[in-house]
């Protein structure tokens, strides 16, 4: 008796049916390999990035007594103002390099609570046209141009599929409060060759971030894409260069001395890195960008009083203060996402902080 068999359709000869009316529409994008070939990282810049990554890792390990400052626009939304900001920051960074390492925020993806502009990589036209191909090309080229200024770069890794387009350009990256708990982001972080900061949860708790740090330090085998864009089994070695970013939570700020002490205890119990970054924005500033200097001043006070766990700070800063709504008449150098501190106030804050640190940098613990 014969058993009935059902032949699989031959993909070369089978009829391709049109998509159903409610099916998503897809448009093919270049693979990360293709974009890196089109806009390559020159060998000299690759050496620069590796040296900058090592400098960041040394600060986070406690081997370099300087302060790490990740500073820049909440999001990059156009080329000219980003480059002008970068030129100013690069010059200031060279002046203050004895006390702090300045790393520019080059954020081209933005998380949305509901809907809204998702960042330069998604919608470079700022008009809802969502030309991802142009956005990826523009974002990578802009990062390359910022590297040419001598700047280390930082970004938030929001969409794991997008990280491969920029992972060779970054010296530091954040995993946001809403994605720190994500297994996919922890797997991605485990395969990256630079320091990763996991933000505390939106409730202010640090347990989720401690779990994320432990997971990212471990080798993984997971689903992903190879450089050519093909589905692949990805094997990672683990990333031990991770740390916690305090950004406050629903209950309020968590940069005060008592909160920092509690966090240090939690990290010790989890056998996690004791080194901390304080995000001076978000819940720590009550979402008021003009309060960021007060947050930084308090963190600096604790550091100068001997708290060696406080090794890094983050500031949202642009050429001009505040924020604006997307529209036809955008003001130059003003954020289109979260409000930012203006350049003059940023420069004054960093100079004053460097002056306070000068002569008081102790040997690392």
DSSP 8-state code for residue 72:
E
DSSP 8-state code for residue 132:
H
The label of the residue with tokens 């640190």 reads: 357
Within 8 A by CB and 6+ apart from 39, the residues are: 137, 140, 141, 144
Spatial separation of the C-alpha atoms in residues 154 and 172, rounded to whole Å:
5
Q: What is the pLDDT of residue 217?
A: 96
User: Which helix (H) or strand (E) segment is 209 a member of?
Assistant: helix 207-216
DSSP 8-state code for residue 20:
P
The label of the residue with tokens 């209950």 reads: 251
Q: What is the pLDDT of residue 53?
A: 98
Spatial separation of the C-alpha atoms in residues 327 and 171, rounded to whole Å:
33
DSSP 8-state code for residue 106:
-
Q: What is the pLDDT of residue 14?
A: 47
Q: What is the pLDDT of residue 115?
A: 85
Q: How many residues does the chain have?
A: 365
Q: In 3-state terms, the chain is what percent helix, strand and coil (to 5)? A: 35, 15, 50
Q: What is the pLDDT of residue 15?
A: 56
Within 8 A by CB and 6+ apart from 237, the residues are: 190, 191, 219
Global pTM reads: 0.92
Ramachandran area for residue 218 (φ above 0: left; ψ -120 to 50: alpha; else beta):
beta
The segments of the chain whose pLDDT lies below 50 read 1-8, 11-14, 362-365
Q: Show the domains of the chain with their CATH numbers.
A: 44-357 (3.20.20.70)
Determine the angle formed by the axes of helices 132-148 and 79-95, rounding to 10 degrees: 30
Q: What is the pLDDT of residue 5?
A: 46
* Cβ–Cβ under 8 Å, residues 196 and 175: yes
Q: What is the pLDDT of residue 320?
A: 98
3-state secondary structure of 71: strand
Tell me the longest C-alpha to C-alpha distance in the chain.
91
Tokens representing 253? 């700020």
**pLDDT by residue (tens digit) across 172-193?**
999 999 999 999 999 999 999 9
């Amino acid at each position: 008796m014969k058993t009935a068999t059902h032949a699989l359709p031959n993909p070369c000869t089978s009829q391709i049916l049109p998509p159903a009316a409610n099916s998503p529409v897809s448009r093919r994008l270049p693979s990360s390999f293709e974009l890196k070939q089109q806009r390559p990282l020159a060998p000299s810049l690759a050496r620069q990035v590796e040296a900058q990554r090592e400098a960041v890792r040394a600060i986070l390990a406690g081997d370099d007594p300087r302060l790490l400052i990740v500073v820049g626009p909440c999001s990059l939304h156009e080329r000219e103002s980003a480059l002008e900001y970068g030129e100013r920051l690069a010059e200031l960074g060279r002046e203050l390099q004895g006390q702090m390492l300045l790393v520019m925020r080059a954020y081209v993806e933005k998380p949305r609570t509901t809907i809204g502009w998702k960042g330069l990589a998604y919608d470079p036209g700022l008009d809802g046209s969502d030309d991802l191909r142009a956005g990826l090309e523009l974002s990578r080229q802009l990062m390359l141009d910022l590297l040419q200024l001598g700047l280390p770069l930082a970004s938030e890794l929001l969409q794991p599929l997008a990280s491969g387009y920029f992972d060779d350009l970054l010296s530091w990256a954040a995993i946001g409060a809403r994605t720190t708990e994500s297994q996919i982001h922890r797997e991605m972080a485990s395969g990256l060759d630079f320091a990763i900061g996991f933000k505390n949860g939106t409730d202010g708790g640090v347990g989720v971030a401690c779990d994320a740090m432990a997971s990212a330090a471990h080798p993984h085998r997971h689903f992903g894409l190879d450089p050519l864009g093909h589905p692949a089994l990805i094997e990672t070695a683990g990333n031990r260069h991770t740390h916690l970013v305090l950004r406050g939570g629903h209950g309020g700020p968590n940069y005060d001395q008592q909160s920092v002490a509690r966090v240090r205890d939690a990290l010790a119990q989890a056998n996690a890195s004791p080194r901390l970054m304080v995000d001076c924005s978000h819940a720590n500033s009550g979402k008021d960008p003009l309060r960021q200097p007060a947050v930084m001043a308090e963190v600096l006070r604790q550091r100068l009083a001997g708290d060696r766990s406080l090794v890094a700070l983050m500031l949202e800063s642009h050429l001009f203060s505040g924020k604006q709504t997307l529209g036809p008449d955008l003001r130059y150098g003003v954020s289109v996402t979260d409000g930012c501190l203006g350049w003059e106030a940023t420069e004054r804050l960093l100079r004053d902080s460097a002056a306070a640190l000068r002569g008081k940098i102790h040997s690392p613990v």
